[in-house]
Structure 1
């Protein structure tokens, strides 16, 4: 009797462990930051935790730092900040970013300088993303918007190296004055 009870407990423990493992693998993923496109927010060689389930509850929001499949090569994942959401008009000039006519004051960028000046109207189901290190970032300015189906999840915390441990800020106050659904109509806006 004791032997069957012990066997049952071992089986239950193994099954519970496997269940917890698969739930965690479904919800959380590690991502290795390669390159300097997100400096100063994220450094080369840092590791971040990615919440893969968050966008089952709500769509990505402006300011979220997301991991996604590169639209030009889906076998490679990138990490960037969401700047524009569906319905927005994003305008980029040499030193400023405006969303729906509201100029952003971005404390998280390394430099506002950009070689690309253009205006994009964000299509349904797509997101305009930029690296925080604008002068060197390969992002939506060059290859367009990211389809929602390419988004892996939201980067929520740096966990390695341990001295760099921190939650990743979305800087929601930067986008507080931008109104959704009030996109400016700009002639010549490129559809994204």
Structure 2
């Protein structure tokens, strides 16, 4: 093998090694996919034990999708890296929250405000009848005692890290 061929082969090997190291770094430290689980005894999504979290800002979000984001504001007490909830309302939907039920476009998505006593705020402060604004999502859990948008308001589209998918 000539010196030129050896040099070329060495460059290819080093290039391949560099690409491999970059790929390992990307997937190891900034993996676009994460496995999620809820360690709490009472889960906001009790029928979900394990989920796949895809870190890609979604372009198309529909009612029923699962979204995740980093906890902040009223959810800053959460120790996990992400919060996962179901999209119950999208921009343009009519939202009605009363002490007895939560409706989106006339369909019941949650039952009332069972955590209102914990908040130490009057029920009236949470009641509303409005259209969900652009760039916002109304998020709920399926557990009756889920701490969700009924209490802390809309999720801003800019806060969304990605979509979640139920594994089991």
Normalising by structure 2, we get a TM-score of: 0.68
Distance 1:157 1:131 in 2: 14
How far residue 95 of structure 1 moved from its aligned partner, in angstroms, is 6.4
Task: State the SS of the aligned residue for 1:141.
Answer: helix
Aligned partner of 1:138 in structure 2 is: 147
Distance 2:54 2:129 in 1: 28
Are the structure 2 counterparts of residues 91 and 34 from structure 1 closer, same or farther at C-alpha, using a change threshold of 3 Å?
farther
Aligned partner of 1:63 in structure 2 is: 64
Larger Rg: 2
User: CA contact under 8 A between 1:71 and 1:146: conserved in structure 2?
Assistant: no
Given the alignment of the two structures, is residue 80 of structure 1 paired with residue 85 of structure 2, yes or no?
A: yes
Are the structure 2 counterparts of residues 68 and 100 from structure 1 closer, same or farther at C-alpha, using a change threshold of 3 Å?
same
Aligned partner of 2:104 in structure 1 is: 99
- Residues paired across the two proteins, number: 146
User: CA contact under 8 A between 2:113 and 2:150: conserved in structure 1?
Assistant: no
Aligned partner of 2:120 in structure 1 is: none
Aligned partner of 1:10 in structure 2 is: 13
Distance 2:160 2:61 in 1: 9
Are the structure 2 counterparts of residues 142 and 150 from structure 1 closer, same or farther at C-alpha, using a change threshold of 3 Å?
same
Normalising by structure 1, we get a TM-score of: 0.61
Aligned partner of 2:164 in structure 1 is: 155
Distance 2:134 2:21 in 1: 38
Aligned partner of 1:38 in structure 2 is: 45
Deviations 1:143-170 (A, max 9, x none): 1111111111101243xxxxx4xxxxxx
How far residue 94 of structure 1 moved from its aligned partner, in angstroms, is 6.2
Deviations 1:26-50 (A, max 9, x none): 632333323211102x13xx3x321
Are the structure 2 counterparts of residues 129 and 120 from structure 1 closer, same or farther at C-alpha, using a change threshold of 3 Å?
farther
Task: State the SS of the aligned residue for 2:151.
Answer: helix
Given the alignment of the two structures, is residue 129 of structure 1 paired with residue 139 of structure 2, yes or no?
A: yes
Aligned partner of 2:119 in structure 1 is: none
Aligned partner of 2:95 in structure 1 is: 90
Distance 2:45 2:129 in 1: 22
Kindly report the root-mean-square deviation, in angstroms, between the aligned alpha carbons of the 2 structures.
Answer: 3.1
